[in-house]
Amino acid sequence: MTDSAILNDVLVSVRDLHFSRGSRKIFNGINLEIPRGKITAIMGPSGTGKTTLLKVIGGQLRPDSGTVVIDGQDLGKLSRSGLYELRKRMGMLFQSGALLTDIDVFENVAFPVREHTDLPEALLRDLVLMKLQAVGLRGARDLNPGELSGGMARRVALARAIALDPMMIMFDEPFTGQDPISMGVLVDLIKRINDALGLTSIIVSHDVKETISIADYLYIISEGKVVEHGTPEALGHSGSEWTRQFLDGLPDGPVPFHYPAVSYQEDLLGKQKGVA
């Protein structure tokens, strides 16, 4: 599929986004568009503010300038209650799962439903069991979050995120620190749930292979800007050395192996100020 075919129905659009923390500039004019019904991956080296970007899209952080439009609504112009209404249609999967630790798995998945609807208990139970079945953890309903492995916690969090049938889900580093089996389970789940429920998924990750295997569209960000974007096939043939280094995981290239320092020889001879 070509870029224009994918990008003709946009759910989230970020325009000229600037954001800084203290004196450190994190985003310096980011533009991106998230197509509806697809899986879009935002990739980049650690510390480039990928998680911050999700928090800006979720309205948890306010940008210094620029606009974020979600399903036609400009986040900057929404009131607090408007933002909360919009969030009912968004799910977010945190790296840690962010499950509430004082209630069990069943109650965690039931939580958003109880908060926002008045479903009778029997219907609520069926709904929660269906969501848990979808992530393969119906049998774990009575466990406490502390008894779950990292991968299971993320699957419960996924069940919770889809409990209210949202229009989109944001995944923050869903594959980090997973063993190969849970990694495979998560990759498969994200793809299947996105397609089955007609969701729009945004994955923030630096696990290149897994992410590329399910993503329909990629954005690569570095140093506060979008470096390159396109379908996985297009980026696979990218001419940019930087993109090649990132996607192929090469140790040296445009991003040097060494942190900037004075020359090795000078350093060893102790010519640096204050040492000699």
Residues engaged in binding other proteins (CB under 8 A): 55, 58, 60, 84-85, 87-88, 90-92, 94-96, 98-101, 111-112, 115-116, 157, 160
Specify the residue, 96 or 149, whose C-beta has the smaller distance to other proteins.
96
| Residue 157 CB, nearest approach to other proteins (Å) | 8
| Residue 85 CB, nearest approach to other proteins (Å) | 7
Report the distance separating Cα 54 and Cα 50, nearest Å.
7
Specify the residue, 27 or 94, whose C-beta has the smaller distance to other proteins.
94
Report the distance separating Cα 131 and Cα 140, nearest Å.
12
Specify the residue, 115 or 233, whose C-beta has the smaller distance to other proteins.
115
Sequence-separated (6 or more) residues with CB below 8 Å from residue 113: 119, 124, 127, 128, 163, 164
| Residue 265 CB, nearest approach to other proteins (Å) | 36
- State how far Cα 180 lies from the chain centre: 20
Specify the residue, 89 or 192, whose C-beta has the smaller distance to other proteins.
89
Sequence-separated (6 or more) residues with CB below 8 Å from residue 38: 6, 200, 201, 216, 217
Cβ burial, residue 149 (10 Å; 0-12/13-18/19+): exposed
Specify the residue, 60 or 213, whose C-beta has the smaller distance to other proteins.
60
Q: Check residue 26 and report its DSSP letter.
A: E
Helix residue ranges, H only, 43-172:
50-57, 80-87, 105-116, 121-134, 150-161
Specify the residue, 112 or 232, whose C-beta has the smaller distance to other proteins.
112
| Residue 219 CB, nearest approach to other proteins (Å) | 21
| Residue 113 CB, nearest approach to other proteins (Å) | 10
Question: What is each CA distance from 65 to 15, 41, 50, 80, 117, in whole angstroms?
Answer: 9, 23, 17, 19, 35
| Residue 27 CB, nearest approach to other proteins (Å) | 19
